[in-house]
Amino acid sequence: MDSFIAPIPKIHFDAGQFLLNEKDWIALGTDAWELMKEFAVGANVLIYVSHDQADPVVTHRAEFLGLIDNPVDMKKAEVEGYRPNTAIGERWVCYWRIGKVEKLVEPIPFGNVQLKSGKYLTSYPRGPMATKS
């Protein structure tokens, strides 16, 4: 199964968690469409909170629900409330959708995350990266 690690800024993560009380999925912005389009719907997403001096650990898992890359559909996702309110108006190449977000019982240190290349993370990733399942 495909899997990847991805950052979500704390402000958007917190707002997205609140939104998931009402919605089955949320849409987050990315410019990494070339990498994201390689993942199948249902891929495992390892989430780390970025910004705000977050610890270098994966704290949540989610299910990848695909990309929204058509500007009309992107606007529709925003208008229908699938974007965290903290992200409204941000400009991105596309949105990536996630659902079934779960907090991990034990956070995963970055050094334990194996990339698709076989190497292990040694520092904060700069954007999403493919991982081994």
Report the CATH number at residue 38. Answer: 3.10.400
Q: How far apart are the first and last CA of the chain?
A: 6
Q: Report the domain count for the chain.
A: 1
Containing structural domain, residue 36: 3-130
Q: What value, to the nearest 5°, has the Cα angle with vertex 79 and ends 74 and 85?
A: 95
By CB atoms closer than 10 A (0-12, 13-18, 19+), residue 32 is middle
Nearest CA-CA partner of 27 in 71, 65, 72, 70? 65
Specify the pTM.
0.91
Each residue's pLDDT tens digit, 14-64? 999 999 999 999 999 999 988 899 999 999 999 998 866 678 899 999 999
By CB atoms closer than 10 A (0-12, 13-18, 19+), residue 57 is middle
